[in-house]
Amino acid sequence: MIPRFRLALLAALCLAILSSGCALLEKQRLPFQGRDEVTIWVNGLSGLSPLEQGRLAEAMSKNASASQAMRSRALSIAAGRPGPQGPSARNELSRLYQAATAQQRGAWESMYFADLDGMDNESLKKLATSVSQDKAMRFPWNLVMLKAARRNLLPDSAALLSRFSSPLLYAAPTALGLAAAPASGETTFVALVVPQTGSASALGRQVVAGAQAAVDALRVSGKKVELSVIDSGQSNWQQRLQSLPPQFVTVGGPLIPGRYQAVRDAAAGRALFSFTASLPSGEEGVKAWRFFTSAEDQVRALLDASASLGISSFGIFSPNDSYSKRMSGLFMQEATARGYAVTSGTYTAGTMNAWPKEAGQFVKMRVGSQRGSIPVAMADFRAIFLPDSWKNMDMLVSSLHYSGAQDRLMLGTSLWEQSLGPTSRNNAATFGLTIFPGAWDATSTSKGAVTFKSAIAAKNERADDWSALGFDFVNLAAALNLQPGWDAQSLNRALASGPDMDFASAPMSWDRAGKAERKLFLFQPSSVGHVPADFSVLKERMESGNLDSAPQAPAAPQKPVSFDELINSITSKDAK
């Protein structure tokens, strides 16, 4: 019995050891079983040259039988390796990134930034120096620039590192080693009712781009904003606005003045900040709040600028349409209230051949009896207000100069701002003594403007007055952080005390009744676009009569070559 017992005991012991050994083996084997196919495939590329890795990655990214996870990782590697497959892979990454959610974008960024480690310095430097300016701020090229700058591969690596280390450029800045404050505290809920389709949709999309840039910038600073965009070009926009949850207290819109009343009614119970130049009598500070440049803002800016140059007498020279009548009336009202002398005159709209004669009569042109005498304007006003669209200014200002008024300050309206973009070409001498008000100064280095320009560039959008409007509105909403149960009186108090924000565009303020006033910038037309007005130069020109390259005797004016359709449409809308 003893041998049998010993034999059984030995067998049991062996089985136990085997069992224990198998368990140990199983524990050692599990991690290898847990490795997914993507990791196994990636590890299989190790030891190969970067060029070979890129070639194999491109083939895998196009393998229809491979899983989506496998193809995505292969695409990222193909885009992060030298070789002919690189450009198309990066373009495809960019396309997928644009269509992705914020969380998916963060995953793409983390993956691609890690995969760029497989690119040698020489190849990365070559790639970074070939990235065009319009692509540099976009994924995946922004990560190429960041990686190259971190490796100090470029002559201006320090400056590039500062530029591409902005958290606003990325969906997952923390994963890239860039500090980004997490959103904390209460969420601000904001709604925008602006056209995304149909009439004025191009402007509406710019407003939304600026608003979304503000959401990103606020997130980095630790504030969370939830933005709801309602397309007023769709037939159901009123229902969508009415059905918003009650926490969406602050509403901005509508851009198109004719839709104000419909937006006001649909936004009943919410705080509407209207993107229109004026509100119906008795409604501002009660039913809605203005968040846009008014005609009065423009007139005040022009008169303040003129006063700084010692001017207290004005002429108003305008066509006889509804827009010019309204602007002329406001200018006359404000100027006479300040005790200034004002003279009015008109010219025939659309009949340019008559303008030189009409301009001469307006400025009381006198020509000496001697042959070749230079015309002299005898009218005693020192500045001339011209409430007309930019398309008429070359002919009109030239007519006034030809009549001897080249030493008068010409005053325009903010209608000109849209026409005087970077593609406009102008005779700088003709407009050497011309100013106009505007809401957006592209050269501004204020804190709000710098933050805005960085945030909008991160979204690869254009910085202009419309995107700045959306940016400032969301920042105002976040500063106010209105909650259900708000009322007009408390909002007026908050606005009058000055919300804690830095405006990207011309700043606004409100009085205790909730009525807004905007401090506009002053610009001069330049040979290309427009520039901030230099008042020391303007004063010198007025005193000397020298408009730099302007001839002593201006040539007879010529008809402008083309007409600005945008300004024409804005003028017609204003006229209504």
Q: Which residues pair with 523 in a beta bridge?
A: 436, 532
Secondary structure tally for the chain: helices H, strands E: 23, 16
Q: What's the whole-number mean pLDDT along residues 329-338?
A: 97
For the segment 245-283, what is each residue's pLDDT rounded down to a tens digit?
999 999 999 999 999 999 999 999 999 999 999 999 999
Confidence at residue 358, expressed as pLDDT on a 0 to 100 scale: 96
- Other CB atoms within a 10 A radius of the CB of residue 210 amount to 30
User: Do 295-413+546-575 and 183-293+448-515 fall under one CATH topology?
Assistant: yes
Q: Please tell me the distance from the alpha carbon of residue 320 to that of residue 478, in angstroms, as a whole number.
A: 44
Domains in the chain: boundaries:
2-34, 38-176, 183-293+448-515, 295-413+546-575
Class of CATH domain 295-413+546-575: alpha beta
Q: Please tell me the distance from the alpha carbon of residue 570 to that of residue 276, in angstroms, as a whole number.
A: 13
Cα angle 309, 311, 313 (rounded to 5 degrees) comes to: 165
Whether the predicted pLDDT of 124 surpasses 60: yes
Closest CA to 78 of 128, 36, 112: 112
For the segment 356-393, what is each residue's pLDDT rounded down to a tens digit?
999 999 999 998 666 666 889 999 999 999 999 999 99
- Two structure tokens written together for 319: 């066509």
Q: Please tell me the distance from the alpha carbon of residue 201 to that of residue 191, in angstroms, as a whole number.
A: 17
Which residues 6+ apart lie within 8 Å of 368 measured at CB?
Answer: 374, 376
Confidence at residue 26, expressed as pLDDT on a 0 to 100 scale: 32
For the segment 456-504, what is each residue's pLDDT rounded down to a tens digit?
888 878 899 999 999 999 999 999 999 999 999 999 999 999 999 999 9
Tokens 């190429």 belong to 144
Confidence at residue 161, expressed as pLDDT on a 0 to 100 scale: 87
- Classified by CATH at the fold level, domain 183-293+448-515 comes out as Rossmann fold (3.40.50)
Q: Is 507 exposed, middle or buried (0-12, 13-18, 19+ CB in 10 A)?
A: middle
Long-range contacts of 482-488 (CB under 8 A, 24+ apart): 482/249, 482/250, 482/271, 483/247, 483/249, 484/246, 484/247, 484/249, 486/249, 486/271, 488/285, 488/286, 488/287, 488/514
